[in-house]
Amino acid sequence: MKGPDCVIVGAGLAGGLLAYRLATLRPELSVLVLEAGASAGGNHTWSFHQGDLDDAALVWIAPFISARWPDYEVRFPKRGRTIRTGYASIASTDFAEILARQLGTALRTGQAVKSVGPQRVELEGGRVIEAPAVIDARGFHPSRHLDIRFQKFLGVEFAVPHGRAPLRPIVMDARRPQNDGYRFLYTLPFAPDRILVEDTYYADGDALDPDALEEDIRRYATEEGWQPGVVLRREVGILPIALGGDPVKHLQSASAAVPIGLRAGLFHPTTGYSLPDAVRTADLICAQPRLETASLSALLADHAARLWRERGLFRLLNRFMFIGADGEGRREMLQHFHRLPDDVIARFYAARLTRVDILRIFAGKPPMPIGKALSIMLQSSRLRRAGAHS
């Protein structure tokens, strides 16, 4: 019996979006999706800024969007403002439902893959499935070729019985004490009576105490006057923030097949967010006339290396934040950054800064002593000359 044309391992964000896009645009291909979890998507809320995606991508991603807002707020000790660019979120429960409907029996959940090769996968239990193209979307792959720190958080979704949720997302409320790195509260009002609050840390280590954080989150929501009620769900995130590394070696170590998503290092270096990259990767792969592992691997390697080169500035800013500053200092930098106009901030999140934007980011009184900033820059250029891809 003929096997599938393509196997996708992992129906998380990147694997799920690729499978959806292939099913929509390339129905002639038989695609099999193997997901270890009980459903696609796991337990996440994936958010993005409207400007992260172009118009065509916003159209095809629209069915997945669970909530959207025309603007959002940021709050710092010396600066608070509303930023008038759109924000949207996808709940993984909605994601799972859409994928199950679109993919039908092509999506096999509860199906852990034991090993992934260029043209075969072996399931737990020993069964082997062969295909000309094998895509590896199993999520983040820690490797010594990436120098990372962490954005970590606990998120708690509450009922708000009296409909007191805020009107718009508060993407950063950094007015709380700065313990364990740069700390901020992140709030999404899904409905007047339902909010998600995340206690987030830009930290050097990945340790997290969920019980202590949940208490803090409830205290914060109470102080804000939202009167948080029963807990509806919780989510924990530990996202990589890239300071440096070697993208080529990382990709080689990530998979014998075609790595995509976090596994391929395709994430915004400063936010750890990967949704826009996952959308673009799905489009890139779908546009290929033939799906087979060798050519797709070369395509993805070029794509990842190009993005890595283009995003060097974000890794430099990360080094300023993590090597050059403590929690208070990191907050100062973010507060200083949020003086910029809405469109510059939007291009920062979209990782599409212009030269003029970069000049504006560095203009004004720097929140870090110039000597320290220069020493980090010199260290980076020394590393680059020595062959490391900082």
Ligand X SMILES: Cc1cc2nc3c(=O)[nH]c(=O)nc-3n(C[C@H](O)[C@H](O)[C@H](O)COP(=O)(O)OP(=O)(O)OC[C@H]3O[C@@H](n4cnc5c(N)ncnc54)[C@H](O)[C@@H]3O)c2cc1C
Sites of contact with ligand X (CB under 6 A): 9-15, 34-37, 42, 44-48, 112-113, 137-139, 235, 237, 239, 261-263, 272-275
Phi and psi at residue 46, to the nearest 5°: -100, 125
* Beta partners for residue 45, in sequence order: 91
Distance from the first to the final alpha carbon of the chain: 48
Q: How far is the CB of 223 from ligand X (least distance, A)?
A: 24
Residues 6 or more apart whose CB falls under 8 angstroms from that of 274 comprise 13, 14, 261, 262, 266, 267, 268
Residue 35 or 173: which CB sits closer to ligand X? Answer: 35
Residue type, 343: D
User: At which residue do the structure tokens 């924000």 appear?
Assistant: 87
**Cα 258–259–264 angle (5° rounding)?**
145
Q: How far is the CB of 209 from ligand X (least distance, A)?
A: 16
Residue 290: exposure state from Cβ atoms within 10 A (0-12, 13-18, ≥19):
exposed
CA atoms within 13 A on the CB side of 114: 8
| DSSP code per residue over 219-234 | HHHHHTT----SEEEE
Phi and psi at residue 132, to the nearest 5°: -60, -30
Give the number of other Cβ atoms within 10 Å of residue 355's Cβ: 7
User: At which residue do the structure tokens 């990147």 appear?
Assistant: 14
Residue 121 or 340: which CB sits closer to ligand X? Answer: 121
Q: How far is the CB of 131 from ligand X (least distance, A)?
A: 15
Q: How far is the CB of 359 from ligand X (least distance, A)?
A: 27
Q: How far is the CB of 117 from ligand X (least distance, A)?
A: 13
Residue 239 or 325: which CB sits closer to ligand X? Answer: 239
Q: How far is the CB of 78 from ligand X (least distance, A)?
A: 27
Q: How far is the CB of 136 from ligand X (least distance, A)?
A: 9
Residue type, 235: E
CA distance 257 to 117: 6
Q: How far is the CB of 238 from ligand X (least distance, A)?
A: 7
Q: How far is the CB of 151 from ligand X (least distance, A)?
A: 9
Residue 158 or 367: which CB sits closer to ligand X? Answer: 158
Residue 108 or 290: which CB sits closer to ligand X? Answer: 108
Residue 183 or 263: which CB sits closer to ligand X? Answer: 263
Q: Which residue is nearest to ligand X (CB)?
A: 12
Residue 180 or 326: which CB sits closer to ligand X? Answer: 180
Residue 87 or 182: which CB sits closer to ligand X? Answer: 87
Q: How far is CA 46 from the centre of its chain?
A: 8
Q: How far is CA 234 from CA 185, 214, 230, in A?
A: 15, 9, 12
* Beta partners for residue 90, in sequence order: 46
Residue 91 or 174: which CB sits closer to ligand X? Answer: 91
